[in-house]
Amino acid sequence: MIAVADIEAAAANLETAGAREVLRWGIESFGSRLAIATSFQAEGMVIVDIAAELAPEVRVFTLDTGRLPAETYQMMEEVHRRYGIRVETVFPDSAEVESMTSRHGANLFYESVANRALCCRVRKVRPLERKLGTLDAWASGLRRGQQQSRGRARKVEIDAGHGSIVKLNPLADWPAQQVEDYIRERQVPRHPLYAAGYTSIGCQPCTRPTRPGEDPRAGRWWWEQQAAKECGIHFSPEGNVERQADVLLEELLD
């Protein structure tokens, strides 16, 4: 295990480094104890492409919420065909999903922001926590320009919310156009829903295509007008919503 001081020193050095250098450091430092998390959106596929060239045996995992669009499963197979990587699939706890849907219905997320946050916790956040508990480091496609809440993301950071493991955000300083240019130049596999007008892709019932002029994340939980467009994987919901979701989750687990 790398000492915290060494991680902090590396983080400072790598803050101005390119994505390839950040990933190379992560792979060399953590080996199989590092994995890339992706939902096969553009940023995640850029990271997979870079990492697979550096280390063909790199681990990749995704969260299968049980509500994914069919096109996302196609991307899992495409990653295997293109890179020879068999994606590790992480599922929610079936008992928690059953309890949640029995109490609140299958489409509870439309009822309130707190219910949506609860669904995200059960289907995404808690499974991620369990997965990260088996790792020393993980990499994500988070970019500072995606959302105001992501503006302070560092390329290498200690993830205090997940047991203080190391989190890599190799594309933190990439603008959206750089992602698009890389995908075009390298002919990286592209999620089919982009061609249908989607600019951010999540669970099928919670994502729609965006209209011209809309924010790229406007298609996520579009029925919520004021809430932050975050599921809790990278950043927790806002205070009151988080507390309400805590209560709902405790009721499920009792």
For the stretch 29-61, pLDDT in tens is 999 999 999 999 999 999 999 999 999 999 999
| Structure tokens, 166 | 């190391």
CA distance 73 to 43: 17
State which residues form the domain around 184: 4-253
- Indicate if the pLDDT at residue 142 is higher than 70: yes
> pLDDT value at position 240?
58
| Structure tokens, 52 | 């697979």
Q: What is the mean pLDDT of the chain?
A: 91
Q: Give burial (CB, 10 Å; 0-12/13-18/19+) of 115.
A: buried
CA distance 75 to 57: 18
Give per-residue pLDDT as tens, 157-174.
999 888 999 999 999 999
Looking at 119, 203, 206, 231, which residue is catalytic? Answer: 231
Whether the CB-CB separation of 51 and 12 falls below 8 Å is answered with no
Total tally of structural domains belonging to the chain: 1
Strand 59-63 with 137-139, pairing: unpaired
The gap from C-alpha 86 to its chain's centroid, in whole angstroms, comes to 18
- 119 annotated active-site: no
Query: What are phi and psi for residue 168, nearest 5 degrees?
Result: -105, 130
CA distance 202 to 220: 7
Q: Three-state DSSP class for 37?
A: strand
233 pLDDT band, cuts 50/70/90, is confident
pTM of the model: 0.90
CATH of the domain at 79: 3.40.50.620
